Amino acid sequence: MVRLQQVLPERYTTAPEYELAARIGTAKGKLGDRVLVLCHHYQRDEVYEWADATGDSFKLARHAADHPEVPFIVFCGVHFMAESADVLTHDEQVVILPDLNAGCSMADMADTEQVLDAWDDLDDLCGTDRIVPITYMNSSAALKAFVGEHGGAVCTSSNARAVLTWAFEEQRAEKVLFFPDQHLGRNTAVQLGHSLQDCAVWNPHHEFGGLEEREVKAATFLLWKGHCSVHQRFTVDQIERARAENPQVRVIVHPECAHEVVRAADHVGSTEVILRTVTDSEPGTAWAVGTEIHMVQRLAANNPDKAVASLDPLVCPCSTMFRIDAPHLCWALENLADGNVVNRIEVDSATAHWARVALQRMLDIT
């Protein structure tokens, strides 16, 4: 998805790191308790150090909503995260994304028109009365609104099991359309006791998702053909190599990884679960971690009594999250301190209403 981020003036792009840090501190000090800087775990250190709160995307959006007294939210994450914060906060609060080009490749793999087309196709093939749409948090506000309006809910990587259980037990679903990450959907389906044969991948670039009518009717889980560019890099070979180098190593990966990787790992969990599991482990424990490199490096630095390393020897930053840097944060804060709001993220009222419905269903479920 193309977004237009203006080019920063040279006083930001050429400033040395120490100067930017001083200017960020000055602007943040001037704003005081009128601003809340939120940082996702995957942010680079030069941004992360200025966070008032850190966490995964939904935890941060909830944190913003829990502080209605703060007029300005500077969200150091990606676009869909800032949208969720805008949906959950009140109208007077302003949500700012320091770089408009900080998107999410996974979220962009399912756009509204594609999902609407898929829904129409499914209605033609088997009817949609007993299909419940579930969208992962890593999706646009428009898709959250779609599932809200069609009886579905949002899920996170930590509550996907509970949300899918709700869809089948409370909503009496015969099928679930799960988007945009096929891997989280597949891993959760297996966790619930379903087989891989119960899952079919819906490719939005092909007619009827590239599936035969019988395949659609036979599937319990229709999984959107989407993935995370970071987590798809992790492989079973990497796990075997890590264990060969250290038989005592414990492997923990994110559920956005491919099913064979999840099956081979010792532990699986969201960013918050990975953080908690490694931090709470015994001193001397060795960990090979399958998630974004900035988080892994921070885990290693914060746990010097343990051996923490990336499962991928070539490492892999989240390239879109990486767009948020000290120059963009400084630019956003200095403008705000001068009374200028830049890069405001606003979700229209109709979309926000239904997206909030979908998010509230998730909260009620979990």
**Domain match, 129 and 215 both:** yes
Q: Residue 124: CB partners within 8 Å, gap ≥ 6?
A: none
- Note down the domain range covering 342: 10-104+320-347
Residue 115 maps to a domain: yes
**Domain match, 213 and 298 both:** no
Cβ atoms < 10 Å from Cβ of 286: 17
Residue 29: give its domain's CATH number. 3.40.50.10800
Whole-number Å distance between alpha carbons of 88 and 347: 10
Q: Residue 35: CB partners within 8 Å, gap ≥ 6?
A: 28, 70, 71, 72, 73, 74, 333, 336
Residue 364 maps to a domain: no
Quote the distance between the C-alpha of residue 185 and its chain's center.
14
**Domain match, 125 and 201 both:** yes
Split into its structural domains, the chain has a count of: 3
Residue 20 maps to a domain: yes
Residue 306 per-residue DSSP state: S
Residue 128 maps to a domain: yes
Residue type present at position 349: S
Packing angle between helix 57-65 and helix 79-88, nearest 10 degrees?
30
Residue 274 maps to a domain: yes
Whole-number Å distance between alpha carbons of 15 and 12: 5
Residue range 18-67, pLDDT digits in tens: 999 999 999 999 999 999 999 988 899 999 999 999 988 888 988 999 99
Whole-number Å distance between alpha carbons of 235 and 86: 36
Residue 63 maps to a domain: yes
Residue range 77-123, pLDDT digits in tens: 989 999 999 999 999 999 999 999 998 888 889 999 999 999 999 99
Residue 167 maps to a domain: yes
Q: Of 181, 213, 228, which residue constitutes the final position of a domain?
A: 228
Q: Which residue has the tokens 């015969």?
A: 174
Cβ atoms < 10 Å from Cβ of 110: 25
Residue range 197-211, pLDDT digits in tens: 999 999 999 999 999
Residue 356 maps to a domain: no
Q: Are 344 and 95 in contact, with CB atoms under 8 Å apart?
A: yes
Helix, strand, or coil (residue 270): coil
Query: What pTM, to 2 d.p., does this model score?
Result: 0.92
The pLDDT-based confidence of 5 (bands split at 50, 70, 90) is confident
Q: What is the model's pLDDT at position 316?
A: 64
**Domain match, 119 and 218 both:** yes
Residue range 312-325, pLDDT digits in tens: 987 667 767 778 99
Residue range 303-355, pLDDT digits in tens: 999 999 999 987 667 767 778 999 999 999 999 999 999 999 999 999 999 99
Helix, strand, or coil (residue 133): strand
**Domain match, 303 and 258 both:** yes
Whole-number Å distance between alpha carbons of 252 and 338: 45
Packing angle between helix 293-302 and helix 271-280, nearest 10 degrees?
20
